[in-house]
Structure 1
Amino acid sequence: MKPQSMLFTIYGEYVRHYGSEIWIGSLTKLMGEFGLSEPAVRAAISRMLRQGWLESRKVGNRSYYSVSERGKKRLEEAAARIYKVETDVWDGKWCIASYNIPEERRALRDQLRKELGWMGFGMLTTSTWISPNNLSDRVKELTEAHEITEYVEIFTSEHMGWSNPKQLVQKCWDIDEINEKYKSFIDAYREEYEQLSAKMSNGEAVPDSHCFVEKTKLVHQYRKFLFIDPDLPQELLPELWLGKEADELFQNYYQLLNPGAVRFFETVYEAAPSA
């Protein structure tokens, strides 16, 4: 597990519910539960500071790190997708983002592609990306933030031909590969969930530290689907779609681990002094 990626999970799953700020000592102890060293954690924090995900302040000889506004927005977007309860009925419209960014701004072009993919867009052509979800406002915010509005056009449109909607999905996303990754997730966690559920049902004690580690790893792994699953409406999914089964397993296992995980976090976390 990469330290920076795990930090996103720790902040998103725990710290943001406790004022979004944490002492470095608490953070390194939590990360140490996964075998990550203090130098590795500090290096990851430094990168996140430079990238604008975190902010820092000093109180006496203690350093505290909080999520920036940019970071909060990203964590909220991720949580909304991970814990989404229902999928809206699709209106048949497609959100389209098309861009023509000059070669001298290649880095921004590459960043835009990554961000569009994370949002759930699929690449129709090299510079045209589509989504069945209404993401136009988020694309506007993204292009304004990067100051590339002159190179980007955004549309909401109906598809008139020639592929049918499911064929269009197959062109833009590797649905079979996503399904296979959901199968791997189910295979990896089904037995763990059933064993722990049986143990708790029998009244056997399960350490809070174990719940913290396993729940955090569970969320960490499930969060990866944000980067590959476009969150397609039911009408566009294949008949054999394992995403729903994986989601049910995730939710059930999460609920089993959550109470102990939160208790452990609270024993390590120290509230930051008022600003």
Structure 2
Amino acid sequence: MSRAPLKLAEIATARPRSRDGSAQGLLLVLLGLFLWRQPPVKTAVLIAALEALGLTENAARKAIHRLTQDGIAAATREGREASLSIAPAGEALFEEGNAQVFGFDGERADWDGRWLVLSVSVPESQRMNRHYLQSRLAWLGMGSPVPGIWISPHAGAPIHPVIEKLGLGTLASSWVGGFGPVGDEAAMVRQAWDIDGLAALYAEFIARFGKLAPVGDAERFVAYVQLVQAWRRFPFIDPKLPARFLPDPWIGRDAAALMRDRRGAWGPAAQRYWDALRRGGA
């Protein structure tokens, strides 16, 4: 029995421990762009920056509190002044996240034609494990053309930790190889991945930021943070399929080119605005 591929909206809402909510998402972007590998900053500066991005002071404070509770940020206090720095767990998070977000260029490397195939069966009594498995494998870029079978054109995808975490080692098997003589490879890909949905998300990104023309450091600061927040999901929801399975031209390349252009145009002004906030101490 075949099924429709997971929709991108379903994957986005299913990601375990997602912090893509408005306040926390914006704060994570701020920390990754302006505080990572930098000295601590006064909490008042972060609140002012988040208010410039459209959040209320209350929402900003809650987001800061949650990230400190999660161990991503660390708060210190000297007298009546509170400051925030990146905690060790946050350092690892931003190290990986920045590399993924800014290293993702939409291009497709040469492919050797090999598929990673995972067969895994989750008992009906473990529905929560099934949900976790599906979301984690989807976020690894894997697709499921039929129930119980997951595939990836990336033979080295790290599926073992996911299977082990759920204790499904005795219920799973995997193998690597080329597509066989039976079936239609392109049809399998279309069944496993929502390529049209991904293209639509790229089109939305281009429509939003392609026509945006902020003026001055403050507007460019807001536009830049929103740009990065919108872009950072793509390295996770784009399965990086080989070019032969994608429409030509592929809109993902255009979106990546726009991201690079806007980052270069808005990034320096955003940094100036942030530096001015720091100097003023809000």
Which TM class, normalised by the smaller chain length?
Answer: 0.7 to 0.9
TM-score (norm 1): 0.77
2:159 aligned residue: 139
2:100 aligned residue: 80
1:60 aligned residue: 78
**Are residues 143 and 218 of structure 1, via their aligned partners in 2, closer, same or farther at CA, if it must alter by over 3 Å?**
same
Matches within 5 A, 1:1-275: 2-18=22-38, 22-49=41-68, 52=70, 54-60=72-78, 62-69=82-89, 72-73=92-93, 76-77=96-97, 79-85=99-105, 86-103=107-124, 105-136=126-157, 138-144=158-164, 146=165, 148=167, 150=169, 152-192=172-212, 195=213, 206-269=215-278
Give yes or no for contact 1:208–1:260 (8 Å, CA) kept in 2: yes
Is the partner of 2:232 in helix, strand or coil?
Answer: helix
Q: Give the Å deviation of 1:175.
A: 1.2
**Are residues 102 and 261 of structure 1, via their aligned partners in 2, closer, same or farther at CA, if it must alter by over 3 Å?**
same
CA root-mean-square deviation: 3.1
Distance 2:190 2:109 in 1: 21
Q: Percent identity?
A: 26
**Are residues 229 and 255 of structure 1, via their aligned partners in 2, closer, same or farther at CA, if it must alter by over 3 Å?**
same
Is the partner of 2:74 in helix, strand or coil?
Answer: strand
**Are residues 83 and 133 of structure 1, via their aligned partners in 2, closer, same or farther at CA, if it must alter by over 3 Å?**
same
Give yes or no for contact 1:166–1:237 (8 Å, CA) kept in 2: no
Distance 1:53 1:117 in 2: 26
Q: Give the Å deviation of 1:133.
A: 2.0
Aligned length: 255
Give yes or no for contact 1:78–1:226 (8 Å, CA) kept in 2: no
Q: Residues 192-236 of structure 1: CA distance to partner in whole angstroms, max 9, x if unpaired?
A: 2xx56xxxxxxxxx4222221111111112223334321222232
Q: Give the Å deviation of 1:84.
A: 2.8
TM-score (norm 2): 0.75
Q: Residues 67-90 of structure 1: CA distance to partner in whole angstroms, max 9, x if unpaired?
A: 553773476246425433453211
Q: Which runs of 5+ in 2 are unaligned?
A: 1-20
**Are residues 121 and 68 of structure 1, via their aligned partners in 2, closer, same or farther at CA, if it must alter by over 3 Å?**
farther
Give the letter aligned to residue 205 of structure 2. Answer: F
**Are residues 160 and 241 of structure 1, via their aligned partners in 2, closer, same or farther at CA, if it must alter by over 3 Å?**
same
**Are residues 77 and 65 of structure 1, via their aligned partners in 2, closer, same or farther at CA, if it must alter by over 3 Å?**
closer
**Are residues 266 and 219 of structure 1, via their aligned partners in 2, closer, same or farther at CA, if it must alter by over 3 Å?**
same
Give yes or no for contact 2:36–2:91 (8 Å, CA) kept in 1: no
Q: Give the Å deviation of 1:256.
A: 0.4
Q: Give the Å deviation of 1:105.
A: 4.5
Distance 1:100 1:71 in 2: 36
Distance 2:25 2:135 in 1: 16
**Are residues 219 and 163 of structure 1, via their aligned partners in 2, closer, same or farther at CA, if it must alter by over 3 Å?**
farther
